Amino acid sequence: MSTIVSLPDQSTARVPKRNYLTNENGLMSWLLTGDHKRIAILYLISITFFFFIGGALAGLIRLELLTPQSDLMASDTYNKIFTMHGVIMIFLFLVPSVPATLGNFLIPIMIGAKDLAFPKINLLSWYLYLAGGTMTLAAMITGGVDTGWTFTTPMSTHFSNTNVVTTGLAIFIAGFSSIFTGLNFIVTVHRMRAPGMTWFKLPLFVWAHYAASVLMVLGTPVLAITLVLVVLERTIGIGVFDPTKGGDPILFQHLFWFYSHPAVYIMILPGFGVISEVISTFSRKRIFGYTAVAFSSMAIAVFGFFVWAHHMFIMGVSNYAVLVFSLLTMLVAVPSAIKIFNWAFTLYKGSITFETPMLYAFGFMGLFTIGGLTGVFLGSAGTDIHLTETYFIVAHFHFVMVGGMLMAFLSGIHFWWPKMTGRMYPEKISQLAAVVTFIGFNLTFFPQFLLGMLGMPRRYAAYPQEFQVLNVFSTAGATILGVGYLLPMIYLVWSLKYGQVAGANPWQATGLEWQIQSPPLTENFTTIPIVTQDVYDYEWLERQKEHEVTHVG
């Protein structure tokens, strides 16, 4: 199989002695670092930790659902398990996943800067994340929460006897970590670009993060105030959401989804960014319709703020509101489709190779498309009333979040692993892992579409006998999926010591990050680059190489 990987001669190549990892030593040099690359590594370690906790909880859920009766755990425990799974996966994994790791690492390098605009705030955001994460774990260990990740009132404010306040405050704190990340990215993209790096020379990865940052900055504070009101209602008994006092629980839904729908785009947009880079590199082509893809990110950010009530079609909002929000929901499918079509056209007549990041990217395109299209079903009010609160919803958002975002995350991790560590991951086994993940994922979540169509409700530990076969498929799939996630964990750690030396640009990619050594220096660039080439300009890269050969010769 053809490949574009070009590694330096392994007998002589060495990982550069001076780089951001070796620049300083000792624990304190990590805990007090201002270097965006080190903070990205800190984030990567912490989100991986929370991912595996959330994943273990998912495993318990699937194990319980293997049989129709609730036999592994009591219903109360099941409620707590799926709540903690949701809270951890959404707030502690998906929201920071790509932005806080790859985004943190790459955005300054991609735009030719030495660091993010506010290194200390960047570090603070990691500590806030850690504080939020620790509080969530504390809430879980001391009794858990059973409201679902949506903190639905009046369940959360009046009826639940679990740790709603601790978890609410934990999410409040973690939310600020997200706000600071977004704020840092926006200011960095505006003010820190290298000479010549105009807006339309920015890699699409940066555009996608810019759009996601806008959502983080404008959306998260609304979640913060909503959680404050829930906590105040639960502790001192104010009446903003309490119907017995004249408050309205639907207002809670509006405020909550005003953040939590855009949050879906906070999670997926950075994934779009990764896919754009990967598709371009492994098709050796400029992204088709670069401007359209860039603007579609911004369009998603704008439209994303006006569709929140499609989570509330059966909650007593007016029929006219349903009509308007249904229409707006259809509109947000347009920019997403623009992206998918443009990636497909980029592949057309490209010189495609099938390295691991590309395999994950293909997985992303297929699964995200299914996830997105089923979203259109759910956006149409009629079908939504039949399908909402069933496993169809669960399957839909897992196709987008796990099939989409997690695939994109793994694609990005593999793609930039040589840049972050200076070493290649083992190619064959990682291709296997990508395939295993894809198969496991489909086996887990496709049956859930069918279950939903048949009417199996979500969030119950027990279910009627006739749903068992599909549930067994799903649980079997989850086991395979678990293997698919453990494999990268193992071989990526292995590669830190035994991987082949990657050299500066193993993929022959065009981004600024590939033109510097791997792993990069602490200051990224010895001199600030002046950008003259266009974005995704592979001819420019060829000329650079020719020049280098003649220069050496």
Partner 1 sequence: MSDSHAIATAEAGHDHGEHPAYLRHHFVSLEQQQETASFGMWLFLLTEIMFFGGLFTAYLIYRNWYYPAFVAASHTLNIFEGSLNTLILITSSFTMAMGVWCAETKRRQGLIISLILTLILGLGFLGVKADEYHEKYVKHHIPGHTFSPQGFIHPDQEALKGGEKPLAPDMAAKTEVYFSLYFAMTGMHAVHMIIGIALLCGMLWKATRGAYMDGNIAYVENFGLYWHFVDIVWIFLFPLLYLISRHQ
Q: Give residues in contact with partner 1 (CB under 8 A).
A: 16, 113-115, 117-119, 121, 179, 183-184, 186-187, 190-192, 194-195, 217-222, 224-226, 228-229, 232, 236-240, 245-248, 251, 254-255, 258, 503-505, 512, 515-517, 521, 523, 525-533, 544, 548
For 19, phi then psi, to 5°, come to: -155, 180
Q: Least CB distance from residue 109 to partner 1, whole Å?
A: 11
- Considering the complex, state which of residue 63 and residue 521 has its C-beta at the smaller distance from partner 1: 521
Q: Least CB distance from residue 201 to partner 1, whole Å?
A: 12
Distance CA 552, CA 356 (A): 32
Enumerate residues 6+ apart whose C-beta is below 8 A from 16.
422, 517, 518, 519
Q: Least CB distance from residue 177 to partner 1, whole Å?
A: 13
| CA dihedral (82, 482, 445, 462) positive or negative | negative
- Considering the complex, state which of residue 246 and residue 553 has its C-beta at the smaller distance from partner 1: 246
- Considering the complex, state which of residue 80 and residue 193 has its C-beta at the smaller distance from partner 1: 193
Q: Least CB distance from residue 179 to partner 1, whole Å?
A: 6
Q: How many other C-beta atoms lie within 10 A of the C-beta of residue 250?
A: 16
Q: Least CB distance from residue 314 to partner 1, whole Å?
A: 21
**3-class SS at 181?**
helix
| CA dihedral (511, 516, 522, 524) positive or negative | negative
- Considering the complex, state which of residue 191 and residue 428 has its C-beta at the smaller distance from partner 1: 191
Which tokens belong to 127? Answer: 């500590």
Distance CA 352, CA 359 (A): 11
Asked if 508 contacts 544 with a C-beta cutoff of 8 angstroms, the reply is no
Q: Where are the beta strands (DSSP E) in 426-514?
A: none
Q: Least CB distance from residue 316 to partner 1, whole Å?
A: 14
Q: Least CB distance from residue 12 to partner 1, whole Å?
A: 13
- Considering the complex, state which of residue 335 and residue 503 has its C-beta at the smaller distance from partner 1: 503
Which tokens belong to 317? Answer: 């909002």
Amino acid identity of residue 334, one-letter, is: V
Q: Least CB distance from residue 360 to partner 1, whole Å?
A: 27
- Considering the complex, state which of residue 373 and residue 516 has its C-beta at the smaller distance from partner 1: 516
Q: Least CB distance from residue 519 to partner 1, whole Å?
A: 10
- Considering the complex, state which of residue 229 and residue 340 has its C-beta at the smaller distance from partner 1: 229
**Cis peptide upstream of residue 519 (ω within 30 degrees of 0):** yes
Enumerate residues 6+ apart whose C-beta is below 8 A from 450.
470
Distance CA 225, CA 282 (A): 44
- Considering the complex, state which of residue 474 and residue 505 has its C-beta at the smaller distance from partner 1: 505
- Considering the complex, state which of residue 91 and residue 409 has its C-beta at the smaller distance from partner 1: 91
DSSP assignment of 107-148 equals HHHHTT-SS-S-HHHHHHHHHHHHHHHHHHHHHHHTT---ST
